Structure 1
Amino acid sequence: MEFGSWNALTGLGQHGGLVAAEAWAWHVDLIARQANRYDPRVLSRIRFGSQQSTAEYQRTNARRVLLCRQADGELQPFDAVVCPTVPIVAPRIADLADESVYTSTNRLLLRNPAIANMLDLCALSVPCHEAGKAPVGLMLMGRHMGDRRLLAIGASVEAVLRKTG
């Protein structure tokens, strides 16, 4: 299944996207006084938001609003969209020492949950790993403001997984 709104999300990420711009606006004064107290990796992502103009931010937000409407319509025929919460098993911290490995892994780990966040959908993750194994989850996504319905679906999925697990 492919959703056009999901594919269009990559266009919202220029200059760090909305998250970086909003984080920069919130943290700029704190960073000026206490940058040394921030995780360097987080700080660099926040600072990326300083490159975005107000006009760019407003255009990006307007595009996001349209994509949110599109996504809600695309999900209308479905009870839920099911996908892995993250597309890989979370790595060990030691495996992320290299900055480029950390960056690419971090983006991959955030990719699926970011879809719901950016498109203002509801989502939840149901644990589905075997006992003693690395934790993994099954993400269920639903329409905007469909939280109660999705929670009921999630409870049913969790009950089935418990019986078969």
Structure 2
Amino acid sequence: MTLPTGYTLRRALPADAALIQAQRDAMFTDMGAEQAGLGRAHSGSLVWHRRMLESGSYTGFLLEYAGEVVAGAGLLWQDLPPNPDTTLSQRAYVMNVYVQPQHRGKALARHLMDAVLDECKARGIRIVTLTASDAGRPTYERMGFRPQAELKLLLEDVQVQEGKP
């Protein structure tokens, strides 16, 4: 699959952490995230992205158009025990998939996902997971991603009664 004319793909560098964080903020805003919570997370998330890029625990891909970064996606490399689906301990978690609104409709997210999956294949990764927004879900399902039974609990929402959660 060839990128549309004028677009180039490159790997993210630690110096790109602020760009990645800006895209992440925009992604959460598009999904309706509460702005106060997003503001509280911003600086810590920026530090995390820079640290993870520097350590190699996160691999980012950025799409540029006319010298400006307009889309991106990343992989968080996870160390988990082998399970019935894989004897490997490394897994990949896709995150930060974002395309600026004026560049949507050109299959750029698909191009980013192809780069992400090519990187996973090159590393021999067998399990790739992600959390999809409603808008992104059809793209991921067309690529073969299937829902799984993951649950989420925010501990501050749990009321403790007599020492029991």
TM over 0.5: no
Point out the structure with the larger strand share: 2
Shorter chain as normaliser: what TM range? under 0.3
Which protein, 1 or 2, shows the higher relative CO under an 8 Å CA cutoff with sep ≥ 6?
Answer: 1
Point out the structure with the larger helix share: 1
Query: TM-score, structure 2 length as denominator?
Result: 0.26
